[in-house]
């Protein structure tokens, strides 16, 4: 970034900028018909790291903003022709609505308060304290950042989760989306079941964003990521002193999701003791923080998901049947990708457009690549498909993605990898490596879960990974 000294500009004042070669600094536009006072404000804020530009009138400030945007405007109240209030009104009529801070004399405080009712962010009285001025500007900058981030997130939600943005060609996928549309407006609990990588969290988010709770929080919790005692505190919250290390009270996820949706992923990994406490919360509609005496009412829509077959878990005594019925008011079963092959190529093209766009490339699949994609077993489901496409974007040498760029193992009808040459042990090692990679992909890299899926001990998995060079 270039560093500016005090030089005349179109605003009839001086443009001041702290010398820096670092990232872009927040920009403050200072408006005051007294050049000395404008320079004092600019110097105080410049020392705090802000880029400051001064203007001698409201009209000059509007012209400056047409040329270059600012993050906040600091303006004097009393100015000829266009005073601070009139400038405030004109700025509020312009999108996106800059925060405006007024500088006024002590005797004008009631009028400044009235100006805040018209939309001023805050006011500072003369003679002002530099630290107070910096604190007010910092709050205004933070407001601007949050509003900008909120607009971005709303646009992201609108583009990513609108119905026509969801890739679904197969009849089974469209049946699921139709069910989600019908279920989303209700308050009923939903249980999503399916293999790892089939898109359970996406469905949970669609249930939220297609409902009237869209303006409220969506809170996702991976139940498998917490020990039982920690999970209870994470979901229900705790009071100060409830346990060693609880130096302050903490609000749990149920309360943080008030008015919105709480997504409990991997619900099948919880213990029966915790399940009993969760059942009580769902039945009573209120949560008791750890160490607390008074339960708190909650208004939360609960969506849960698991890659286990909960009926089997109930028979094995690992999951409470009464909680299952409470969670499974609306069941949604997601099919593995191998059972809805009509979705493979549309999804692959969707992922290619996204990752190639992010990498600044224009890529397309060859016919051979599409054939390989359709024939692959996809044990890791949609997540494995996206990983393969992202990998291909990195490895592709030209504008076409070849089968070699995908790095997918060739498999026979039994699902084992076919070795073109080498010994039988080589073929077995390659098949084992491919199966372990798929299990790790499906388990998000969690080795304990991958070992359970493979039916081996964790230590055995570690040894095999080391021997196979994984």
For 404-461, the pLDDT digits (tens) are 999 886 554 444 444 444 555 666 677 778 888 888 877 778 888 888 878 788 777 8
Tens of pLDDT, residues 238-267? 888 878 877 788 889 999 999 999 999 999
Residue 393's pLDDT band, with cuts at 50, 70 and 90, is very high
Alpha helical stretches, state H, 290-343: 310-315, 321-327
Beta-bridge partner residues of 102:
75, 123
- What does the pLDDT average to over 327-336? 96
The pLDDT score that the predictor gives to residue 425 is: 64
Q: 242, 255, 360, 253: which is closest to 297 by C-alpha?
A: 255
The pLDDT score that the predictor gives to residue 377 is: 92
The pLDDT score that the predictor gives to residue 152 is: 63
Lowest mean pLDDT segment, chosen from 22-26, 63-67, 123-127, 418-422: 418-422
Domain 15-153 and domain 338-468 have a common topology: no
Query: 338-468 maps to which CATH number?
Result: 1.10.8.60
Rounded Cα–Cα distance for residues 234 and 278 (Å)? 12
- Who wins on pLDDT, 161 or 11? 161
- What does the pLDDT average to over 364-386? 94
The pLDDT score that the predictor gives to residue 154 is: 63
Quick check: 318 pLDDT over 90? yes
The pLDDT score that the predictor gives to residue 161 is: 66
The pLDDT score that the predictor gives to residue 423 is: 59
Assigned architecture for domain 163-335: 3-Layer(aba) Sandwich (3.40)
The pLDDT score that the predictor gives to residue 440 is: 84
Rounded Cα–Cα distance for residues 135 and 137 (Å)? 5
Lowest mean pLDDT segment, chosen from 153-157, 222-226, 377-381, 459-463: 153-157
Q: What are the extents of the domains in the chain?
A: 15-153, 163-335, 338-468
The pLDDT score that the predictor gives to residue 20 is: 39
Quick check: 7 pLDDT over 50? no
- What does the pLDDT average to over 175-202? 95
The pLDDT score that the predictor gives to residue 178 is: 95
The pLDDT score that the predictor gives to residue 351 is: 95
Lowest mean pLDDT segment, chosen from 136-150, 216-230, 324-338: 136-150
What is the pairing mode between strands 301-306 and 261-265? parallel
The pLDDT score that the predictor gives to residue 192 is: 98
Query: What region, left, alpha or beta, does residue 254 occupy, with left being phi > 0 and alpha being psi -120 to 50 degrees?
Result: alpha
Q: pTM, whole model, 2 decimals?
A: 0.60
Query: 15-153 maps to which CATH number?
Result: 3.40.50.2300
Alpha helical stretches, state H, 161-186: 171-183
The pLDDT score that the predictor gives to residue 21 is: 42
Q: Which two tokens stand for residue 26?
A: 């927040």
Quick check: 204 pLDDT over 90? yes
Q: At CB < 8 A and 24+ separation, what contacts does 86-89 make?
A: 86/58, 87/31, 87/58, 87/61, 87/62, 88/115, 88/118, 88/119, 88/120, 89/118
The pLDDT score that the predictor gives to residue 214 is: 86
């Amino acid at each position: 970034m270039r560093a500016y000294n005090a030089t005349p500009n179109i605003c009839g004042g001086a443009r001041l900028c702290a010398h820096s070669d670092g990232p872009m600094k927040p920009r403050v536009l200072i408006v005051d018909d007294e050049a000395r006072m404008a320079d004092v404000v600019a110097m105080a804020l410049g020392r705090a790291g802000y880029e400051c530009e001064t203007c001698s009138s409201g009209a000059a400030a509007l012209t400056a903003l047409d040329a270059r945007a600012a993050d906040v405007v600091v303006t004097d109240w009393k100015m000829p022709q266009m005073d601070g209030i009139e400038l405030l009104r004109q700025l509020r009529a312009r999108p996106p609505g800059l925060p405006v801070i007024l500088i006024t004399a002590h005797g004008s405080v009631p009028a400044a308060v009235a100006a805040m009712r018209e939309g001023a962010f805050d006011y500072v009285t003369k003679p002002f304290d530099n630290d107070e001025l910096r604190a007010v500007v910092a709050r205004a900058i933070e407001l601007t950042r949050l509003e900008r981030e909120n607009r971005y997130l709303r646009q992201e939600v609108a583009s990513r989760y609108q119905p026509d943005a969801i890739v679904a060609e197969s009849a089974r996928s469209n049946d699921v989306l139709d069910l989600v549309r019908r279920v989303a407006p209700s308050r009923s609990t939903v249980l999503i079941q399916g293999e790892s990588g089939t898109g359970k969290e996406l469905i949970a988010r669609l249930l939220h964003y297609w409902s009237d709770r869209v303006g409220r929080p969506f809170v996702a919790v991976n139940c498998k990521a917490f020990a039982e005692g920690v999970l209870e505190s994470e979901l229900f919250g705790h009071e100060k002193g409830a346990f060693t290390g609880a130096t302050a009270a903490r609000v749990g996820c149920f309360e943080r999701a008030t008015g919105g949706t709480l997504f409990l992923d991997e619900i099948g990994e919880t213990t029966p003791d915790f399940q009993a406490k969760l059942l009580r919360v769902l039945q009573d509609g209120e949560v008791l923080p750890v160490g607390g005496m008074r339960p708190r009412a909650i208004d939360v829509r609960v969506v849960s998901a698991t890659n286990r077959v909960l009926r089997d878990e109930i028979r094995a005594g690992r999951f409470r049947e009464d909680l299952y019925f409470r969670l499974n008011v609306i069941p949604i079963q997601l099919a593995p990708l191998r059972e809805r092959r009509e979705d493979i190529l549309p999804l692959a093209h969707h992922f290619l457009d996204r990752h190639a766009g992010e990498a600044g490339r224009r890529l397309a699949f060859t016919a051979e690549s599409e054939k390989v994609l359709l024939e692959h077993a996809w044990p890791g489901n949609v997540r494995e498909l996206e990983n393969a496409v992202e990998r291909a974007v990195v490895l592709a040498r030209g504008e076409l993605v070849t089968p070699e760029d995908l790095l997918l193992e060739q498999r026979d009808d039994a699902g084992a990898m076919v070795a073109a040459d080498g010994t039988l042990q080589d073929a077995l090692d390659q098949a084992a490596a491919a199966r372990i990679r798929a299990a790790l992909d499906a388990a998000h890299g969690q080795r304990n879960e991958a070992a359970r899926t493979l039916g081996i001990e964790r230590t055995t998995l570690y040894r095999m990974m080391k021997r196979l060079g994984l």
